[in-house]
Amino acid sequence: MKGSDSVISETTLVPLSPKDAACFRDVCRAAGYTQTKLHETFEFLVPPPSDRLPPALLASLGPCESPFDVLARLFFLGVPVDADVAGTLLPTAIVQSCLQSGLVSQDESKLCPAATLVPVDDLLFAADLQRTDYLDNDLFVPTLCDAALHLNAVAIHNRGGKTLDLCSGFALHGITASGRSESVVASDLNPRAAEFARFNAALNGCENVRAVTGDLFSAVAGERFDTILANPPFIISPSAVTTYRYSPFELDGFIKIMFAAVPEHLEEGGTFQTICEWVELEGQDWQDRLRSWFAGSGCDVWVLSANRQFPSTYARSVLSQSIDDESELSTQQQQWEQYLRQRGVAAIQGGFIFLRRRRGNNWFDFTELTKPVREPIGDAIAQGFASRDIVFGSDGDDRLLSSRLAVADGLRQVETSHWKDFRWKRDSIVLHLDKGLPVTIGIDGYIRTLIEQFDASRNVQQCLDLFSKEIGLPIETGRKKGLDVVRSMLKNGILVAMPK
């Protein structure tokens, strides 16, 4: 372990009483200590490393003049604040709660943060200070990161039942789900993660959260859940140097082991949702490779690929998060590239993988995300499962042909044309779905005409017949060609099934 170990291991938070927790939340809310205001003020969605704060940011910090200033500097930026100033701007009881709980310590005239405390929606979450010299410490409990935010954005909001937050860290996903779950278990290999999970459950008034310690599913052996959310260690590297960031097995072996264990911990109809990375191997179709992982699992599987990087780009992107020296960065990058090249890695993909336990003939599907996920789309993911049940149903096309579909809310069309020979000539038609699953696809005039038929008043067969008549195709030809388009539009969310 590194020299920062003693600092991390001594950071133990004492959960607040219900009264003090409610008071703390009220003060943060009144101060405007929110995701939105933090982003507007600092242009960061997640806390930056406090030992690598941009010089321009440090130079821009004026005197603390509001409760927001105090909270943001202590718990988002991780910098000390004058104790007298904090005492003037914050209620005395809140300062005392911070000291007694261990969120801050007092060093002469300064209040020094001992943890981050970040808002997510209406909740607050404590974790270790964000410092680059903590990153490779196996006791480190990291604060909010992009991967956690992305998984939170795509999470299906199942109501009721039991929820498992696997590889939970500070329990973002479990506590977020606690209000709609009968019970929640937060499980992590790091014992300090359980301490933060208990603190955060108390801070947010969540009484149905149980924090446990164990590797993968070992702490919940024999238990089944209706919802499992997992943000596992998935970064692919030559060696596993942490328990929260890097995959502890070669390449993507860890997530393969995780997926193999999922079905026995899901209730019928239960969902598993994760963000992760996997490799493309030279000469092997990556979809076929992933499909083989889930053969015979008893689960439907939906893979959403969000990014693809070549080994050189991937290595530099990961290493630059903790290495400033260009010479060291270059040396490490070469070692990573050699490791990946020797194992036949052509590229590394990242995204989301969803499983749903279901009896019957299970399906496997893939979607490439063409735009970043910016807003919560859990309802669209749930709708995507329902749409695929229609497309891949065991009753062939009968269910699809009898379904009533409508164009999704938030669909936008962009058409470009150029002037030639005294008239406009169309160059392209592009559809953008701005609500739900982010989609951008190019279509032609025929497909646009087909989409226009779907207003939920007719079933698919009737819409295809109207389309065929409108463009002058034989009915059977129109049905055959149009059905392929309908399947695609239903899967990507352009069309949605209406309740019967």
307-348 tens-digit pLDDT: 999 999 999 998 888 787 899 899 989 999 999 999 999 999
CA 495 – CA 500 distance, rounded (Å)? 15
Beta strands, E only, 374-422 = 404-407, 411-420
CA 261 – CA 248 distance, rounded (Å)? 16
**pLDDT the model gives residue 157:** 84
**pLDDT the model gives residue 5:** 47
Place of tokens 């789900």: 177
Mean pLDDT score, 384-394? 92
pLDDT band at residue 3, thresholds of 50, 70 and 90? very low
pLDDT band at residue 365, thresholds of 50, 70 and 90? very high
Phi, psi of 476 (to 5 degrees): -65, -40
Where does the chain hold its CATH 3.30.390 domain(s)?
A: 398-497
Mean pLDDT score, 10-16? 83
Q: Which two tokens stand for residue 119?
A: 């808002």
For 276-293, the pLDDT digits (tens) are 999 999 999 999 999 999
Q: Is the pLDDT of residue 9 over 90?
A: no
**pLDDT the model gives residue 7:** 59
Q: Is the pLDDT of residue 465 over 70?
A: yes
Mean pLDDT score, 219-239? 94
What is the share, in percent, of the chain residues with pLDDT greater than 90? 77
- CATH number of 135-369: 3.40.430.10, 3.40.50.720, 1.25.40.10, 3.40.50.150? 3.40.50.150
Fold of 398-497: Enolase-like; domain 1 (3.30.390)
CA 478 – CA 439 distance, rounded (Å)? 25
Helix pair 460-471, 475-491: axis angle to 10 deg: 120
Please name the helix (run of DSSP H) or strand (run of DSSP E) that holds residue 270, with its range, or none. strand 266-281
pLDDT band at residue 2, thresholds of 50, 70 and 90? very low
- Pick the range with the lowest mean pLDDT from 158-167, 173-182, 301-310, 319-328: 319-328
Average pLDDT, the chain: 92
Residue 221: count other Cβ atoms within 10 Å of its Cβ. Answer: 9
**pLDDT, greater one: 143 or 136:** 143
Mean pLDDT score, 254-278? 97
Mean pLDDT score, 170-183? 96
Q: Dihedral, CA atoms, 164, 166, 172, 173, nearest 10 degrees?
A: -50
CA 204 – CA 199 distance, rounded (Å)? 9
Mean pLDDT score, 99-117? 93
Q: Is the pLDDT of residue 11 over 70?
A: no
What are the beta bridge partners of residue 355? 272, 301
**pLDDT the model gives residue 245:** 80
Tell me the CA distances in angstroms from 267 to 198, 223, 395, one per residue in order: 26, 9, 25
Q: What is the DSSP annotation of 72-112?
A: HIIIII---EEHHHHHHHS-HHHHHHHHHHTSEEEETTEEE
Where does the chain hold its CATH 3.40.50.150 domain(s)?
A: 135-369
Annotate 389-423 with b (16+ C-beta within 10 A) or e (fewer): bbbbbeeebeebbebbbebbeebeeeeeeeeeeee
